[in-house]
Amino acid sequence: MAASPKVPKARAYSSPLDPMDLYDVRSLLSDEERMVQDAVGRLVDEKVLPVIQGHFENHTFPRELVADLAALGLLGSSLEGYGCAGMNAVCYGLICQELERGDSGVRSFVSVQSSLCMYPIHSYGSEEQKQRYLPRMAKGELIGCFGLTEPHGGSDPANMKTHAKRRGKDWVINGAKMWITNGAIADLCVLWAMTDEGIRGFIVDKGTAGFTAPEIKHKFSLRASVTSALFFDNVVVPEANVLPGVVGLKGPLSCLTQARYGITWGVIGAAQACLRQLIDYTKDRELFGRALAANQAIQIRLAEMSRKITLSQLLSLQLGRLKDAGKMTPAQVSLAKWNNARAAIEVARDARDMLGGAGISAEYVPIRHMLNLESVITYEGTETIHQLTIGRELTGINAF
């Protein structure tokens, strides 16, 4: 039998670059920012990664992590006072990136608590509301949810049906919200409802008569996060529970701007987790007499992933610097949310493919991130919403 031709040995190359940070974005961070990233990274390695696969498979939220998140100052981290850490926007971004390297569900929890619940109370709440809720929310003693999306269509919240009517000194709320993160475990809901004056924000405490928050089951995405419907059946809240500082759609949209900014960073972490595992896997796996990673076709796909991650990192860092300088605009956030979520889902899908059959197992991270990112690319404004936002910015024509 003729001997098969020998496959040439791949030439070794020693890289000076960090595969997760090819442009050394870390060198552009301050000492404080690096410290925050390292501390959250350790929390993710030590506390999130060991439990997250189990929670994802069991469709449970890792509630045991809330105290750890709070102890590091990650709840309401950008807010000043009221027991909050007062960190800058880049720190908040890095927090989201590290947490989502663990799982989008954990980052979602922090996004909702910080950007969607604590931010509106801090920005638009009365002093009494701030004192009542913020210190306990920063400690993780109270969990919030944010009710904007409705069953008939979340992309157009201006058309909301949930309404609140004045009755003496109280308000009576009727309606329903859908797809609400943290709903069933929340102690309070920051609810947006239509009134005769326009859209207003209400704080509805858990246990208020007529308010229910059943969990949505059977999700194939964000399984380590609680998602719920919210029902309001003649719910009575006092005037003291209305956010006095804002009327109109800009109230909830300004909260979304904060959360979307964090998501632009978060999804980078999910993509990095996929790439890191894939590099190890393709170097170890031998097919056709050589490491899978020694094939040009595989290297091109890994390089594509790295390109997408690097562009996302630079986009988010500049966005963060603009935010810290008070110059960030909603359209800039839309571009980064669109780009980075799209990049991350493409990385996760391709990573799943390159793992072959192993890629369908939750013992490897890509399929979990891939499934999670299906929610992330949808929530906080779908890709289409962000594309149309940029189209409007470029043309001055509102196509919504």
> Catalytic residue numbers?
380
* Using rule CB under 6 A, residue 151 touches ligand TGC: no
Window 309 to 368, contacts with ligand TGC (CB under 6 A): 330
Extract the tokens encoding 158: 């201006």
Q: Would you tell me which residues interact with ligand FAD (CB under 6 A)?
A: 112, 146-149, 153-155, 179-181, 222, 227, 375, 378-380, 382, 384-385, 400
Kindly indicate which of the ranges 136-144, 278-286, 365-373, 379-387 contains the residues binding ligand TGC, using the contact rule CB under 6 A: 379-387
CA distance to 43, 53, 380, per residue, from 386 (Å): 32, 31, 9
In 82-197, DSSP assigns E strands to: 144-147, 163-167, 170-181, 188-195
By a kind-dependent CB cut-off of 5 to 8 A, residue 384 interacts, out of ligand FAD, ligand TGC, none, with: ligand FAD
Closest C-alpha to 20, from 103, 104, 97, 74 = 97
Rule CB under 6 A: say whether 162 interacts with ligand TGC: no
Judged by beta carbon distances under 5 to 8 A according to partner kind, the member of ligand TGC, ligand FAD, none in contact with residue 37 is none
- Under the binding rule (CB under 6 A), the answer on residue 124 touching ligand TGC is no
Tokens of 12: 């070794």
Question: Can you list the positions of beta strands (E) in the chain?
Answer: 144-147, 163-167, 170-181, 188-195, 198-205, 211-212, 227-238, 286-287, 290-291
Determine the interface stretch with ligand TGC among 145-153, 184-192, 299-307, 311-319 (rule: CB under 6 A): 145-153
- Report the 10 Å Cβ neighbour count for 126: 16
Determine contact, residues 277/366, Cβ cutoff 8 Å. yes
Shortest reach from residue 146's CB to ligand FAD, in Å: 5
Using CB under 6 A as the binding rule, whether residue 28 contacts ligand TGC is answered as no
Q: Which does 111 bind (CB under 5 to 8 A by kind): ligand FAD, ligand TGC, none?
A: ligand TGC
Q: Which residues contact 392 (CB under 8 A, 6 or more apart)?
A: 331, 398, 399, 400
Q: Considering only residues 7, 10, 67, 158, which one is a binding residue for ligand TGC as defined by CB under 6 A?
A: 158
**Amino acid making up residue 126:** S
**Minimum distance, C-beta of residue 222 to ligand FAD, in the bound complex (Å):** 4
Residue 161 within binding range of ligand TGC, rule CB under 6 A:
no
Q: Based on the shown chain and the rule CB under 6 A, indicate whether residue 371 belongs to the binding site for ligand TGC.
A: no
Distances (CA, A) of 126 to 134, 203, 204, 245, 317: 11, 11, 15, 8, 33
In angstroms, rounded to a whole number, what is the distance separating the alpha carbons of residues 289 and 286? 6
Span near ligand TGC by CB under 6 A; candidates 126-134, 251-259, 290-298, 351-359: 251-259
* Binding of residue 144 to ligand TGC (CB under 6 A): no
- In the chain, the amino acid numbered 342 is R
Q: Which is nearer to ligand FAD, 146 or 281 (CB)?
A: 146
* Nearest residue to 340 (alpha-carbon basis) of 400, 254, 267: 267
> Is residue 39 a contact residue for ligand TGC (CB under 6 A)?
no
Q: Which residues bind ligand TGC (CB under 6 A)?
A: 108, 111-112, 146, 148-149, 154-158, 181, 248-250, 253-254, 256-257, 259, 330, 379-381, 385, 389, 400
